[in-house]
């Protein structure tokens, strides 16, 4: 089925962000301090660099569980569900990163200071440590934190499409963007689709956190789990 991306972008804009936890608010304000309050492609790039990390950490924990607890059927099923989702989500996040890289190249935009290698190494190391800690001590809190991260990302993309009306007229010819979404023709829809992917990640995070009441349903959405 064809998803109405414009309708879903409006849904994202009209839906207020979640009431974020203190730790999420702190994290987002540090990002704003480094990358600026304005939502830009460079800031989205930093988000995407970080976005893959928690999925990888959950996967590591649950692969180990599969190794040692293969005889516990219920645990095996639960771990396999998390791994399956985590693998597809991290590949999807990495694709977002590649698409932004291509768009910035097409527009002649240089990476700002916060995307320099030393800064990226520091920021990713801290995020790996945080994700690892949550994955091993309280994975449900990790899912909840990720849901907040993804909700924030969804709102950033929805707002960026509104802030860049020229994207509606810019046709997609880039092979990476076409690999990501061959059915889409302009850059506004590419970023609307990315924003909707973030909503899917948010929804799945709430599903695994055991908080299905926060899931935002829409026509054509994939099933949780």
> Where along the sequence are the contacts to Fe ion (CB under 5 A)?
48, 51, 93, 96, 150, 198, 201
| Least distance between Fe ion and beta carbon 76 (Å) | 26
In the complex with Fe ion, which residue's Cβ is closer, 51 or 172?
51
- CB-based contact 224:203 (threshold 8 Å): yes
Q: Which two tokens stand for residue 194?
A: 């990315």
C-alpha 35/C-alpha 33 separation (Å) is 6
In the complex with Fe ion, which residue's Cβ is closer, 86 or 139?
86
| Least distance between Fe ion and beta carbon 70 (Å) | 30
C-alpha 156/C-alpha 40 separation (Å) is 9
In the complex with Fe ion, which residue's Cβ is closer, 18 or 76?
18
- CB-based contact 43:36 (threshold 8 Å): yes
- CA-based end-to-end distance of the chain: 20
| Least distance between Fe ion and beta carbon 8 (Å) | 15
Contacts of 159 (CB under 8 A, 6+ apart): 13, 39
In the complex with Fe ion, which residue's Cβ is closer, 56 or 74?
56
| Least distance between Fe ion and beta carbon 201 (Å) | 4
């Amino acid at each position: 089925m064809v998803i109405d991306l414009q309708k879903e972008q409006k849904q994202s804009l009209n839906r207020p962000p979640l009431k974020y936890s203190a730790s999420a608010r702190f994290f987002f304000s540090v990002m704003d301090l480094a990358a600026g309050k304005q939502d830009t492609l460079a800031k989205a790039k930093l988000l995407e660099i970080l976005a893959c990390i928690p999925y990888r950490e959950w996967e590591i924990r649950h692969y180990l569980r599969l190794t040692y607890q293969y005889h516990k059927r219920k645990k095996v099923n639960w771990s396999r569900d998390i791994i399956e989702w985590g693998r597809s989500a991290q590949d999807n996040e990495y694709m977002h990163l590649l698409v932004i890289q291509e768009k910035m190249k097409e527009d002649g935009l240089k990476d700002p200071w916060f995307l320099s290698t030393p800064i990226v190494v520091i920021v990713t190391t801290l995020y790996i440590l945080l994700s690892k800690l949550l994955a091993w001590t309280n994975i449900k809190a990790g899912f909840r934190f990720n849901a907040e991260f993804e909700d924030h990302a969804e709102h950033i993309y929805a707002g960026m499409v509104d802030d860049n009306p020229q994207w509606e007229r810019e046709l997609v010819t880039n092979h990476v963007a076409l690999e990501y979404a061959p059915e889409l023709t302009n850059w506004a829809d590419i970023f609307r689709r990315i924003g909707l992917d973030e909503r899917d990640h948010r929804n799945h995070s709430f599903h695994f956190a055991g908080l299905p009441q926060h899931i935002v349903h829409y026509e054509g959405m994939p099933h949780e789990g």
